[in-house]
Each structure stands twice: as C-alpha cells, then as structure tokens.
Amino acid sequence: MRNRRSRRGRIRPYTFTGGRTRSRHPLLVQTLVSAADAGTETPSNLPPEAQRIYEMCRETRSVAELSAALKIPLGVTQVLLSDLADQELVYIHPTITGHSPSENQVLERALRGLERLFQ
C-alpha cells in the first residue's frame, strides 16, 4: 500500500462551504445515538436544531426517529449529529449489518428474539 499522506495542497471542500452533505461518522438511518452525558445541560452555543437533537438524545434514539420527531430531513439530521459527535456530546452506538460472520452471534440473538415475539 502506498503511503500518500501528504496533505499539502489538499483542502477539503467543506472547509469552505460549511454546507456539508455527508457526515463523517457511520450514521445510518437505524444507528442509535445517545447523549454522552445525559445529565449535562444543553450547550447554548449550538445551533437551534442541534440543541433540539441533543435534548432528544437524552434517551437513546435512532437517526430516523430523531429526524421524524423533529421534522428535520434525514441528511441534515446526520450532519448535525456528526457535529455533535465531533464535540463528543453524543455517543454513536454500533450498528449490526450482518455482513461479517463475526456478527452471527448477534443475528442469532435477533432471530431468537423474533421467535419469542411471533408464533
């Protein structure tokens, strides 16, 4: 693997725009998010939408649930959550995709859960 670490001359577009459309964290629609410290007051320097998201994250919720409850489009919700995660205000929970056999144990737990719920 070639090491191409040189950053000279490379400036990421969102440095300028501030209008990013991609989050830098693995935030899928089903990803659960919770406030890093639910007891902390909402930081007042956050944009209003980010404050509302932070408030709701006092209980663990998925990206889609936050978007639906706050009526903030998914893409915007993802970017704001990404900012909150950068500031270590929210914790992003792991998401199981089942793409690796190492996740079989969790998939089997999921299947047992379904078998309990549905006859």
Cβ atoms of residues 54 and 35 within 8 Å = yes
- Please identify, using beta-carbon distances, which residue of 49 and 65 lies nearer to another protein: 65
Of the CA atoms within 13 Å of residue 61, those in its CB half-sphere come to 21
Q: Which of residues 9-68 bind another protein (CB under 8 A)?
A: 28-32, 34-35, 38, 58-60, 62, 64-65, 67-68
How far apart CA 7 and CA 21 sit, in angstroms, is 22
- Please identify, using beta-carbon distances, which residue of 45 and 69 lies nearer to another protein: 69
For 18, other C-beta atoms within 10 Å of its C-beta total: 6
> What is the nearest approach in angstroms of another protein to the Cβ of residue 9?
28
> What is the nearest approach in angstroms of another protein to the Cβ of residue 32?
5
Interacting residues of 88 by C-beta distance below 8 A, sequence separation 6+: 36
Q: Which residues bind another protein (CB under 8 A)?
A: 28-32, 34-35, 38, 58-60, 62, 64-65, 67-68, 71, 73-75, 91, 93-102, 104-115, 117-119
